Amino acid sequence: MNIRKNFSKKWAIEGGIFSTKRNLQFDYLNRETGLAFQNKISIITYEIPLQALLYIRITDKWYTDAGLGVNFNFLSTYEYQNSTPSFETFLRRRTWATPSLTVSYGIEYRSKKSGFIYLGISINQYLKEYYSATSFSANPKVFDKKFNYRLSANYFSFDLKYFFPQSNPNEK
């Protein structure tokens, strides 16, 4: 869900709530021993973004806009474990909430009858790592090392948004 409030023809603020499922894949290859493994993990997060938007009018119905804001990210997956026949991976949430910065740019078509259609890109940069992970061999006789790492999960996205037409009570 996304909500936008226009303050003028050039400025707006946008917010909402999003549910995101990230599918992560870990690949490991040790060239000396030939040992390789792959693990797949899914993490669910909820985001509450707050973003300031600047519009530039191109034509009567076409606009370009740029945004800058902050997201409040809530991590619903506390612990996660995934095993393959050769390796196990264990994740633990470092914190239940973490902030991130977001930057967006896009174009939109505006129609009083049909609403707004937005097409753009955005980058979300987490301010701190949000999961710790450990991977280790299911058979320590084959490989006895543990791998510890942290996840930040920054992402780049393509965005498509539709805003319903709004009626203005001052217009007759």
Give the CATH number, domain containing residue 41: 2.40.160
Residue 170 lies in a domain: no
Residue 21 lies in a domain: yes
Least confident segment among 49-53, 69-73, 150-154: 150-154
> Which of the pair, 5 or 31, is modelled with greater confidence?
5
Structural contact between residues 108 and 62, judged by C-beta atoms closer than 8 angstroms: yes
Q: What is the mean pLDDT of residues 10-38?
A: 81
CB-count burial class (<10 Å; 0-12, 13-18, 19+) for 53: buried
Tracing tokens 């710790």 back to the chain, one arrives at: 132
In terms of residue numbers, what domain contains 150?
Answer: 2-163
Residue 169 lies in a domain: no
Residue 17 lies in a domain: yes
pTM recorded for the entire structure: 0.75
pLDDT tens sequence across 84-132? 667 777 888 888 888 999 999 999 999 988 899 999 999 999 888 878 8
pLDDT tens sequence across 34-68? 767 777 778 888 999 999 999 999 999 999 999 99
Task: Please count the structural domains in the chain.
Answer: 1
Residue 171 lies in a domain: no
What sign for the dihedral angle of Cα 60, 66, 70, 71?
positive
Tracing tokens 């030939």 back to the chain, one arrives at: 34
Residue 96 tokens read as 């239940």
Measured at the CA of 19, the angle between CA 17 and CA 21, to 5 degrees, comes to 160
> Which of the pair, 76 or 84, is modelled with greater confidence?
76
User: 71 pLDDT exceeds 80?
Assistant: yes
Band (pLDDT 50/70/90 cuts) for residue 172 is very low
